[in-house]
Amino acid sequence: MSQNRRKFIKNAAISAGGIGMFSILPSSVWGANIAPSDQINVALIGCRNHGFNILRHHLNNEGVNCVALCDVDENVLHERAKDVKEAYGQNPKLYRDFRKLLEQQDIDAVIIGTPDHWHCLIFVYACQAGKDIYVEKPLANTIGECDIMVRAANHYSRVVQVGQQQRSNEGFNETMEIIKSGDIGRLRKVNIWANFNYGIGATPVEDSSVPEGVDYDFWLGPAPKRPFNRARFHGSWRHFWDYGGGLFSDWGVHLIDMGLWSDDLLGGPERVITYAGNNSNQTGMRDTFDTMNVTYPKKNYVINFDMNGGVQEGPWGKPYGVAFIGDKGTMVADRAGYKLYPEYDNNTESHKTAARSLSNISDAHDHHVRNFLDCIQSREPPRCTPEMGYAAAVHAHIANISGRVGEHLLEWDDENMRFTNSEKANEYIIPEYRKPWKLPEV
């Protein structure tokens, strides 16, 4: 851990406190005619799926231009270039190597939509190249890489938005206002659950030859050399430790982030209690866990996370969600909205707080991207800073590490970036990059 960690966290907390609660800025804020100096040129690295969706959210704003695309799969690259041309009338330059893309001088910001194991390298190179960054979550695939990325963003003074878009969700913003106003009383517990079928992994297949047009060695990058297998590639890579953290890191960062936001907590957890296993009878190709229960004791409350891959039903009739339990009532929230269930006071024969609800929330990606674009212009911190991304990712990574080393209780020293009760767990903090790739330094 750098000696600057405490300063970064303090500054992030101050910045986050000044952002304020939810607001919607219409795309017309840019005006019908955008001066060249006010236009923003963006590039996308990792074009196949969610990264391209995020690019669309950028291009739906006036004055935003896609000037470059990069992907190691030529088939994806040319398909997405065609999509941009047909939908937006733009002709981005095409790259197979992100390093060449970062040399393009007219790029203001890059979107990192690659598998998680690539985030750190591309992020640091982009900072060094003077680009602002929208990086998908989790921030990185290891704790050490997350720390490097926070330090890089601060060292190079870049505007960075982490793709934890629930920070821009109207319902979750109102939920936080209600909790922090004291309307549910003292917050005692945050119960989180995530049940999704895809959490068991892809259907097993045999190793095969690399598809034509794919630079598979570049796709692996710093990850270990392995034979090509479609179940480890497009769409299902996150179920293997080399590239991702499974269902827990995928949904975990989104939902844990809400638990931390309710008390404005930054940094890693001091203690994590974990059960992790593969308990489903359904066959799926994965390294990661399909069943997890994780507890994060906090100073003022406790966060519990219940995860089940291969299951779609959950508490409150929702496959995923967050229940904020207070003395006066319970707030149940997901991306579609929230509902406050008040407690009843037998002495006064009345509810302890007012029931309320909100539903039919619009997609938060638009607002999250709009906030990023505004911050590129203003140089203000966006709604989800690298420090916030670090906190959520490290909470998820420690639970996964606990399962991997078979130790149910891990104690974490965030200042010194180490586990104080497990040397086995400490081996998972810093990744070992495959040559010739090197872990970046800041």
Report the DSSP pairing between strands 64-70 and 93-95: parallel
- Per-residue pLDDT band for 16 (boundaries 50, 70, 90) equals very low
Tokens 């212009």 locate to 377
- What are the pLDDT digits (tens) for 176-224? 999 999 999 999 999 999 999 999 999 999 999 999 999 999 999 999 9
Tokens 């906030």 locate to 371
Sheet of strand 160-162, all strands in order from the earlier edge strand to the far edge: 93-95, 64-70, 40-45, 109-112, 132-135, 160-162
Q: Is 77 exposed, middle or buried (0-12, 13-18, 19+ CB in 10 A)?
A: buried
pTM across the whole model:
0.91
Whether the per-residue pLDDT at 247 is higher than 50: the answer is yes
Task: Report d(CA 207, CA 184) in Å as an integer.
Answer: 53
Amino acid in the structure at residue 415 = E
pLDDT for the residue numbered 30: 37
Mean pLDDT of 373-382: 97
The domain covering 5-168+365-385 belongs, at the CATH homologous superfamily level, to: NAD(P)-binding Rossmann-like Domain (3.40.50.720)
- What are the pLDDT digits (tens) for 315-337? 999 999 999 999 999 999 999 99
What is the dotted CATH code of the domain comprising 170-362+393-421? 3.30.360.10
The token duo for 103 is: 């040399």
Whether the per-residue pLDDT at 159 is higher than 90: the answer is yes
- What are the pLDDT digits (tens) for 214-243? 999 999 999 999 999 999 999 899 999 999
Cis peptide before 436 (omega within 30 of 0): yes
pLDDT for the residue numbered 38: 82
Tokens 């733009």 locate to 90
Provide the residue ranges of all domains of the chain, joining segments of one domain with +. 5-168+365-385, 170-362+393-421
Name residue 365's beta-bridge partners. Answer: none
Whether the per-residue pLDDT at 35 is higher than 70: the answer is no
Whether the per-residue pLDDT at 354 is higher than 50: the answer is yes
Cβ atoms of residues 63 and 109 within 8 Å:
no
CA atoms within 13 A on the CB side of 131: 28
Beta strands in 182-301 (DSSP E): 187-196, 271-277, 291-297
